[in-house]
Copies of this chain bind each other. A is one copy, B any other.
Amino acid sequence: MLLDSVTSPADVARMSVGELDSLAEELRRVIIESVGRNGGHLASNLGSVELTLALHHEFDIPRDALVFDVGHQAYAHKLLTGRRDGFSALRHADGCSGFPSPGESPADTGVSGHAGVAVSLARGIASGRKKNGDEGRVIAVIGDGSLTNGITFEGLTSGRDSAKKLIVVLNDNKMSISKNVGGVSRCLNRVISGNFYNRLRSMLREFSRPRKRLYSLLSRIDDAVKSLILPPGLLFQELGFRYFGPVDGHDLAGLLVLFQRIKRLDGPILVHVLTTKGRGCDFAEKKPARYHGVSGFDPVTGSVPPSGGSFSGTFGECLLRQAEKDERIEAVSAAMIDGTGLRRFAKDYPTRCHDVGIAEAHAVIFSCGLAIAGRKPVCALYSTFAQRAFDCIYHDAVLAKLPVVFALDRAGIVEDGPTHHGIYDLAFLTALPEIVIMAPRNYKALELMLDLALKRSGPSVLRYPRGGEGPRAAAAGCAPLETGKAEVIRAGNGPVIWALGAEAETALAAAEILKREAGLECCVIDPRFLKPFDEATARQYAERDVIVIEDHAVAGGLGALLFRLIPDDGTHLRLDFGWPDEIIGHGRISELRTRYRLTPELIAEDISKRLAARGSAAGN
């Protein structure tokens, strides 16, 4: 394999176009094979192979800094920069991470898990390097989806001292760019002036105004006309960039010529590259959305193992049932319609479902606007992306006391790694007034909580993990909700285990082990509400050993709420099994839980040990 001979970017720089084409095919094969086995992002990475090769061929990386916006287009880059071995164990704890990571290689310039940050980061690097007298280029590779994100615009419109060395490569795979911008971009050969268009539109409008049907028709084709006669890239030119493109992002020879030319010019430059998601892989090219992020698939047929039920799916079904009964219910998400279980909702209620693109702040504020207009918005975001809208949750929803429901999916640890872990949401949200925060332990609880949230006159949060309910948690059902009331889901006169949401499964399993192996009858409590928190029940069980299990950072989660109320009295256990105060790396969930001793078995073992240690201490 040619890939075997690549140990650094310099090896790529020496290759001919023919060799690069062969290398592209090899990279594709390696990516398909590894993602099929390990899961990861497929379609976007297949689309960026030639672009990555061309960048490595023409630029001197990392002397020329390469900043990826959202790393799910960086696999080829990883394979070219010394991570081929780790790539076969992609997303495993001892393998390569799924996103650019400066700790993994100096070729990874920034952390890139959340979209929209690359241009700002590149601006900072360019500005800093300028003072160092460093002559290298700074290249930000952004996706079309990044253009829906406001931070990208902040980066594009800001800063002159960083301009000269800045190249922004827009990898446009037409997946989430707004139609307007995309329309403008594709009319390369029809560069009629904006001024001509304006005069034409005015004339047509004046002429047609008395003729109602014609006027209406013309208004409707307005956008279409506009996209035909405005030059491409005008938007970027307006923002001060020199625009090149659009160019075919799979034509290696063409890309090389373009980059050779561009690297001699002063910035800021925007290169618009058109690529195809899933390129070179039949099934991924046909269904790019399905093969965006996957848990694994058959590399030959593409068949994906059937997934069982999930909190996301249950949320989608419950919301659908609610929407049938109440036409005021609307769903809002930020490029997470599929991930949050809203696909069917979007199909059945297209006008009541709003996918705003990668624009979390806008999603939250738009939801607040819907609520002001008397609608019942449910805003579904991943916990990690909700961090980008914390201020809006406070400023726009809480302060105005609006009935917006925030459904935070992927709360807890995830296999995408540190950029995507959803383990800090409660730290901020539980500090806010006026808000009710719930965590369902099973599907039944999710159904009841969504119902309660939709009946409230103020803001509510539901948080739940990726994946599904466990068998024990499912069997425990859910007693009718009473705001701020915990539920005892396993009676017992032994240690009390408080379990956050779906961690009820871990707690019940640990309780079984402790019964079997130590004869202990643990009591398991599900707080259900993080806010208002059930202080009375907390105090009721304070005279026992109290243990918390939570899929959240120990700093600022359930334990922080509970142990403030019932601190360590020196005689009873106070243990908090959650994610410790360090950067939690990437890996399989099972690997991470084992490493941090958060499986039922290891938790039971640690509880037993602590109880035994106390026993022997008391015996002395």
B238 contacts A121, C-beta separation under 8 Å: no
A117 contacts B419, C-beta separation under 8 Å: no
Chain B residues, Cβ within 8 Å of A419: 395, 399
Nearest CB in chain B to that of A557: its residue: B431
Chain B residues, Cβ within 8 Å of A396: 110-111, 117, 121
Using an 8 Å CB-CB cutoff, how does the interface string of A495-532 with B read, 1 for contact, 0 for none?
A: 00000000000000000000000000000000000000
A427 contacts B424, C-beta separation under 8 Å: no
Distance A223 CA – B160 CA, assembled complex (angstroms) = 12
A45 in the interface, Cβ–Cβ < 8 Å? no
Using an 8 Å CB-CB cutoff, how does the interface string of A287-330 with B read, 1 for contact, 0 for none?
A: 00000000000000000000000000000000000000001101
Distance A125 CA – B373 CA, assembled complex (angstroms) = 5
Chain B residues, Cβ within 8 Å of A359: 151, 154, 158
Chain B residues, Cβ within 8 Å of A235: 235, 238-239
A123 contacts B583, C-beta separation under 8 Å: no
Given contacts A150-B152, A194-B194, contact A158 B362 (CB under 8 A): yes
| Closest beta carbon of chain B to A206's beta carbon, Å | 13
| Set B373, B377, B388, B560: member contacting A391, Cβ < 8 A | B388
Chain B residues, Cβ within 8 Å of A351: 131, 161
A400 contacts B223, C-beta separation under 8 Å: no
B566 contacts A366, C-beta separation under 8 Å: no
| Closest beta carbon of chain B to A323's beta carbon, Å | 13
| Set B128, B154, B433, B581: member contacting A433, Cβ < 8 A | B581
A244 in the interface, Cβ–Cβ < 8 Å? no
Among A351, A367, A368, A556: residue with most chain B CB under 10 A: A556
Distance A1 CA – B147 CA, assembled complex (angstroms) = 51
| Closest beta carbon of chain B to A429's beta carbon, Å | 9
Chain B residues, Cβ within 8 Å of A184: 238
- Segment at the interface with B among A15-23, A245-253, A483-491, A567-575: A567-575
A240 contacts B266, C-beta separation under 8 Å: no
Tell me which residues from 538 to 571 in chain A have a Cβ below 8 Å from any Cβ of chain B.
Answer: 553, 555-556, 559-560, 563-570
| Closest beta carbon of chain B to A292's beta carbon, Å | 20
Distance A161 CA – B149 CA, assembled complex (angstroms) = 19
B400 contacts A110, C-beta separation under 8 Å: yes
| Closest beta carbon of chain B to A459's beta carbon, Å | 12
| Closest beta carbon of chain B to A167's beta carbon, Å | 15
A399 contacts B428, C-beta separation under 8 Å: no
A173 in the interface, Cβ–Cβ < 8 Å? no
Using an 8 Å CB-CB cutoff, how does the interface string of A269-302 with B read, 1 for contact, 0 for none?
A: 0000000000000000000000000000000000
Distance A147 CA – B153 CA, assembled complex (angstroms) = 10
Distance A555 CA – B434 CA, assembled complex (angstroms) = 13
Q: How many copies does the complex hold?
A: 2
Among A180, A196, A370, A374: residue with most chain B CB under 10 A: A370
A134 in the interface, Cβ–Cβ < 8 Å? yes
Distance A195 CA – B234 CA, assembled complex (angstroms) = 9
Chain B residues, Cβ within 8 Å of A431: 424, 427-428, 553, 555-556
A34 in the interface, Cβ–Cβ < 8 Å? no
| Set B155, B388, B400, B430: member contacting A555, Cβ < 8 A | B430
Using an 8 Å CB-CB cutoff, how does the interface string of A566-603 with B read, 1 for contact, 0 for none?
A: 11111000000000011100000000000000000000
Distance A230 CA – B566 CA, assembled complex (angstroms) = 67
Using an 8 Å CB-CB cutoff, how does the interface string of A107-133 with B read, 1 for contact, 0 for none?
A: 001110110110011111111110110
Distance A234 CA – B102 CA, assembled complex (angstroms) = 40
| Set B125, B154, B371: member contacting A148, Cβ < 8 A | B154
A369 in the interface, Cβ–Cβ < 8 Å? yes
B400 contacts A366, C-beta separation under 8 Å: no
B238 contacts A361, C-beta separation under 8 Å: no
A121 contacts B158, C-beta separation under 8 Å: no
| Closest beta carbon of chain B to A129's beta carbon, Å | 5
Tell me which residues from 182 to 201 in chain A have a Cβ below 8 Å from any Cβ of chain B.
Answer: 184, 191-196, 198
Chain B residues, Cβ within 8 Å of A565: 567-568
| Set B117, B155, B180, B361: member contacting A395, Cβ < 8 A | B117
Chain B residues, Cβ within 8 Å of A566: 567-568
B369 contacts A122, C-beta separation under 8 Å: yes
Chain B residues, Cβ within 8 Å of A369: 110, 120-128
Other A-B pairs beyond A128-B369, A387-B395, A427-B430, 9, CB < 8 Å: A65-B372, A102-B372, A111-B396, A114-B391, A127-B373, A153-B153, A424-B432, A431-B553, A566-B568
